Amino acid sequence: MKFEILNNELDLPLLDRLLKIRNIDLNKKEDFLNPDWKNFWYSPFLLSDMDKSIERILKAIKNNERIVVFWDYDVDGVTATYVVFYFIYKFLNYKNISIRLPSRADGYGIRGFHLDELKEKWVSLVITVDNGITAVEEAEYAKKIGLDLIITDHHTPLDVLPNSFALVDPKTSPEYPFKEIAGVWVAFKLITALANKLNLDKKTKEKMMNYFLPIVAIWTVADCVPLVDENRLLVKKWLEIINNKNKRPPNIQNMIDFLNLKNVDSYHIGFVIWPRLNASWRIYKPDDSFQALFQHNCEAQTKYLEKLDELNKKRQDTQSNILSEVEKNIDLSKNILVSYWEFHEWVIGIVSWRLTEKHNKPSIIMHVDKEKWIAVGSCRAPMYFSIVKMLNDIWKDGLLERFGWHAQAGWLTVKLDNIDTFVQAVYKYWENILPEELEKLVFVDTEITEKDLLSEDINEVWKLAPFGEQNPQPTFLIKNVQIKKIDFVWKQQNHLKIYAQKDWIDLILIRWSGKTMLDKIWDRQNIDIIANYEKDDYNGGFYFKIKELIL
């Protein structure tokens, strides 16, 4: 393991060092630390075709036309559907609206046969959420059969845009200043535009914010969109709502009580709330996730929350079993880790990520479908390697049916006839990779000094929250830490709690699943560590969570 310090101007206050790393002008740091609606809320009518969309929806409501919200089956689609459907169904009290969920067997996005089915059911207006930007043929077909199609999406378009009745996507909207918003945020923009057009009163608009901002924020954090600009404003305001009992809507209050959460932050979205909503579509079907949001009656909602909890445990067990099986049967000495079998298709992405995280090597895990005679693969890679560049080279040899995504994550489809040749091509690609290029690189924000600890500058770190993409939780180097006492903590006694000092200042260090580290520090008086600064929500106070030990 090697590390790189991003800012070591130790004469600057700690918060200023961290802001400089994030390319924040120190003269404008208040705008970043405390974003305000007037600076970072962009009118929904800056999105192309928003006016046209609102007029069509209001016309449908006036004429009692049947409306269908067509969603994608991941959490962005689930949350976006909830936002649009619940607002029209409950807030506008319009009941001639329903939802349509494609099955995973249908593939991604709206298809011609979906449109035929909806037309047969006397639907006249279809609103897509989190999908549709690539539905070029489907948009033409909708026109042909007399269906008005409003596409709301956030994905990158193809060279040709769908000629739908209306297309609402920040990436096709020249006047919209911030492009990196999630599909659920686009859906929220749609309902705020509806609220403005209808001149809803201030009390109703405040209720809207309290009901929908928490839902929008869940996927904004989980989808790893950059937590800057409008996204940062959204999540900051969401935290204010969700941590104020008087503002929480019933479904969010029930969820927090069920999960036994106290103070909620972006960590709880990413590691507590989102995995449960996500487990539904990975293991079973996403209807349960939708109902867990839609039901506001405590007893009814709890049934769905319990089911999501069970599915999440099943998802954890499934991915743990697959990871264990993969590690037993692959050659871990290879520079890239490849495995294929009849694994559960919808958890292989998580398994690939875990494998890469654990071994610091690219990995490809493939689900074999003998009926279709293909393997569908999920790929992950450390920061030093572009998985897509490799796949692009192999694509030129005609071995892949499809592939895509971005530098550190990807997907692929390969015919079973070509799978062994594909695996050998992957290994061959790596023949020119040097061993030192595989060494793990950890980026450290800055070193923590005695001054940072004594002045309590360290507690200024929380002003940077919420943490996420382009504003990660700060990582610190702490040198010459003296170990005073080591305890084993939690139920299984497998986590280390270290009582320590730096320059005579008392510190608490935690290493989760730290038994393997014990041998390395047992007979040492001083250690250097790379760590995050964490709040202890249950016992109070703060601690440093050890990420890496520097020997």
Task: Summarize pLDDT for 213-263 with one digit per residue, the tens.
Answer: 988 988 788 777 889 999 999 998 888 888 888 888 999 999 999 999 887
DSSP 262: S
Q: Contact, 382 vs 362, CB < 8 A?
A: yes
243, two tokens: 């941590």
Number of DSSP helices (H) and strands (E) in the chain, helices first: 20, 18
Beta strand pairing status for 66-71 and 97-100? parallel
The fold adopted by the segment(s) 2-31+442-550 is OB fold (Dihydrolipoamide Acetyltransferase, E2P) (2.40.50)
pTM: 0.84
% of the chain beyond a pLDDT of 90: 61
Q: What is the mean pLDDT of residues 430-453?
A: 83
Please tell me the distance from the alpha carbon of residue 452 to that of residue 13, in angstroms, as a whole number: 8
Q: Mean of the pLDDT values across residues 361-365?
A: 93
- The predicted structure's pLDDT at residue 179: 95
Catalogue the long-range contacts made by 250-258 (C-beta closer than 8 Å, 24 or more residues apart): 250/296, 250/297, 250/298, 251/292, 251/293, 251/294, 251/295, 251/296, 251/301, 252/214, 254/296, 254/298, 254/301, 254/302, 254/305, 255/292, 255/301, 255/305, 258/302, 258/305
What b/e string do you get for 80-111 counting C-beta neighbours within 10 Å, with b at 16 or more? bbbbbbbbbbebbebeebebbbbeeeeeebbb
Residue 433 has pLDDT above 70, yes or no: no
pLDDT-based confidence at residue 407 (cuts at 50, 70, 90): low
Supply φ then ψ for residue 73, to 5 degrees. -95, 5
Average pLDDT score over residue span 454-469: 90
Specify the CATH architecture of the domain 336-432.
Answer: Roll (3.10)
Share of the chain above pLDDT 70, in %: 97
**pLDDT at residue 239, rounded to an integer:** 84
Classify domain 44-209 at the CATH class level: alpha beta
Nearest Cα to 108, choosing from 85, 131, 137?
Answer: 131
Mean pLDDT of 133-138: 94
Phi, psi of 162, rounded to the nearest 5 degrees = -65, 135
CB 178 within 8 A of CB 149: no
- What is the pLDDT, as a whole number, of residue 456? 82
Of the spans 43-47, 309-313, 358-362, which averages the highest pLDDT?
43-47
Q: How many CB atoms sit inside 10 A of residue 185's CB?
A: 26
Domain ranges for the chain: 2-31+442-550, 44-209, 336-432
- Statement: residue 104 has pLDDT above 70: no
pLDDT of residue 108: 72
Question: Angle at CA 308, nearest 5°, toward 302 and 311?
Answer: 145
Q: Does residue 406 surpass a pLDDT of 70?
A: no
pLDDT band of residue 357 (cuts 50, 70, 90) is confident
DSSP state letter for 43 = P
- Distance of alpha carbon 276 from alpha carbon 291, whole angstroms: 13
Q: Is the pLDDT of residue 55 over 90?
A: yes
Residue whose entry in the numeric block shows the structure tokens 């310090």 = 5
- How far from the centroid of its chain's Cα atoms is residue 75's Cα? 9
336, 342, 344, 346 alpha-carbon torsion, rounded to 10°: 60
Q: Per-residue pLDDT averaged across 354-370, rounded? A: 91
Asked whether the bond before 174 is cis by omega within 30 degrees of 0, the reply is no
User: Quick one: pLDDT band at residue 211, thresholds 50, 70, 90?
Assistant: very high
**Distance, CA of 86 to CA of 129 (rounded, Å):** 13
What mean pLDDT comes out for the span 43-70? 98
Alpha carbon separation from 491 to 167, 252, 392, 535, 541 (Å, rounded): 53, 29, 47, 20, 21
Q: Which amino acid belongs to residue 285? A: K
Which residues, at least 6 apart from 148, have a Cβ–Cβ distance to it below 8 Å? 56, 124, 125, 126, 142, 165
What is the reported pLDDT for 122?
97
Q: For the chain, first and last CA: distance in Å?
A: 10
Provide the pLDDT confidence category of residue 144 given band limits of 50, 70 and 90. very high
